[in-house]
């Protein structure tokens, strides 16, 4: 057995790790091919093992759940409780939410906690794991919510006697301010898209600025929901990570379309009207978009970069639409209905743009007043 580095032994299709625990020598197997990346990972695992041994917290099941040295027990392990919790949510939550919860558990909890007896996981273990996350406050809170849910279920199932996750405080919410584009920037971006992309892309983002749909709603717009006689469009669904679901508010809405919107949709007809229900399809394949990532990374961000406009998420098309509505003098109640907001949420988010239609005029009055005073003083 060839030794690569201290305590690391590559084999044909696996890697063995050597360490001493309680004065006993152990060779445990990682069922990973000995690629350079996996060997580097094995070295990091060995360092974690040695540190856990020094701290007195080493647990075979945590690092090598399939090992013959891992203690066998009938006491509930974290992984089984997490699985049972997910199953209990299947009838109550949307498929996309369940998928996110499952990914959170697999990404953050399965490896450190999955095979450990839930009652034997201490608060320090939970706190150390959560403190070590390099994520945004919003993501941190989402991860913690899942962990709290698993622990609440564990309490009900008598798998543990304390909810350690409830002792961890949620992070402060990060308030992201709207960062709309100016009218000049909108023109520049749409012109750039017309020059560099398939016509459908320019039409999509043009409508996004005019209607203010959420990106997840935009990729799931349907021709049957368009009323040509009433000049209106029903927005009734969204697509998130390949799954069609309700809109964010779980309510459909009717959006009024002006002549510019109708003209864009007439241009779009030749591309997708006779193909299927979806208004927008990926030009390269003719198939509906599975999610919004392609539109954002392949089209939106490169266009901003070419136009030398500060980078921002494609959701800013929605914020741009809202700010333009207010600066044009549209009634907030109507604008909120167009976007699918409550009037309270709309005003809380966009109130600073209500006087935007007179931008500069009030300041000019102040300047004129001071100018008169200076003249008198002279």
Q: For the residues of 194-250, what is the DSSP string, one character each?
A: HHHS-HHHHHHHHHHHHH---HHHHTT-BGGGEETTTTEEEE--EEETTEEE--TTS
**What is the CATH number that goes with domain 183-358?**
1.10.443.10
CATH 1.10.443.10 segments of the chain = 183-358
Our CA angle for 232, 238, 241, nearest 5°, is 155
In the chain, residues under CATH classification 1.10.150.130 are 78-167
The phi-psi region of residue 212 (left if phi > 0; otherwise alpha if psi is between -120 and 50; otherwise beta) is left
185-203 pLDDT per residue, tens: 999 999 999 999 999 999 9
pLDDT of 61 > 90? The answer is no
- CATH classification for the domain delimited by 78-167, as one of 1.10.150.130, 3.30.830.10, 1.10.260.40, 2.10.109.10: 1.10.150.130
Which of 66-70, 89-93, 240-244 shows the highest mean pLDDT?
A: 89-93
Would you place residue 377 in the very low, low, confident or very high pLDDT band (cuts 50, 70, 90)? very low
User: What Rg, from alpha-carbon coordinates, does the chain have?
Assistant: 28
pLDDT at 217: 94
pLDDT value, residue 367: 59
Q: Which residues contact 98 (CB under 8 A, 6 or more apart)?
A: 86, 89, 90
Show the 3-state SS of 153-169.
HHHHCCCCCCCHHHHCC
The stretch 83-94 carries a mean pLDDT of 86
pLDDT for 357 equals: 45
Using one digit for the tens of pLDDT, what is the confidence trace for 160-183? 999 999 999 998 866 567 899 999
Answer whether 28's CB lies under 8 Å from 16's CB.
Answer: yes
Q: Is the pLDDT of residue 376 over 70?
A: no
Contact 126, 163 (CB under 8 A): no
How far apart CA 86 and CA 93 sit, in angstroms, is 10
């Amino acid at each position: 057995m060839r030794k690569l580095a201290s305590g690391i032994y590559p084999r044909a299709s696996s890697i063995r790790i050597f360490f001493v625990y309680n004065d006993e020598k152990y060779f445990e197997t990682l069922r990973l091919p000995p690629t350079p990346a996996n060997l580097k990972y094995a070295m990091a695992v060995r360092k974690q093992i040695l540190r856990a041994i020094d701290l007195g917290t080493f647990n075979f099941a945590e690092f090598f759940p399939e090992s013959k040295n891992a203690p066998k027990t009938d006491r509930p392990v974290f992984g089984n409780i997490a699985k049972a919790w997910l199953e209990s949510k299947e009838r109550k939550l949307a498929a996309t939410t369940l998928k996110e919860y499952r990914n959170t558990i697999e990404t953050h909890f399965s490896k450190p906690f999955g095979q450990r007896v839930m009652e034997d996981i201490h608060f320090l273990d939970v706190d150390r794991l959560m403190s070590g996350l390099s994520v945004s406050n919003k993501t941190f809170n989402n991860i913690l919510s899942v962990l709290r849910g698993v622990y609440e279920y564990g309490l009900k199932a008598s798998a543990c006697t304390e909810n350690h996750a409830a002792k961890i405080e949620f992070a402060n919410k990060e308030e992201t301010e709207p960062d709309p584009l100016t009218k000049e920037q909108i023109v520049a971006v749409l012109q750039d898209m017309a020059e560099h992309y398939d016509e459908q892309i320019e039409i999509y983002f043009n409508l996004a600025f005019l209607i203010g749909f959420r990106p997840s709603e935009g990729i799931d717009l349907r021709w049957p929901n368009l009323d040509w006689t009433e000049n209106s469009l029903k927005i009734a669904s969204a697509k998130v990570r390949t799954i069609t679901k309700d809109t964010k508010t779980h309510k459909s809405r009717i959006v009024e379309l002006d002549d510019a919107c109708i003209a864009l949709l007439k241009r779009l007809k030749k591309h997708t009207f006779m193909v299927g229900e979806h208004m927008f399809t990926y030009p390269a394949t003719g198939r509906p978009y599975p999610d919004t990532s392609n539109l954002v990374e392949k089209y939106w961000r490169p266009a901003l970069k070419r136009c030398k406009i500060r980078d921002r998420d494609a959701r800013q098309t929605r914020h741009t639409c809202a700010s333009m509505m207010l600066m044009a003098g549209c009634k907030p109640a109507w604008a909120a209905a167009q976007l699918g907001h409550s009037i309270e949420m709309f005003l809380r988010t966009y109130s600073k743009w209500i006087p935007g239609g007179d931008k500069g005029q009030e300041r000019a009055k102040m300047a004129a007043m001071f100018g008169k005073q200076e003249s008198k003083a002279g």
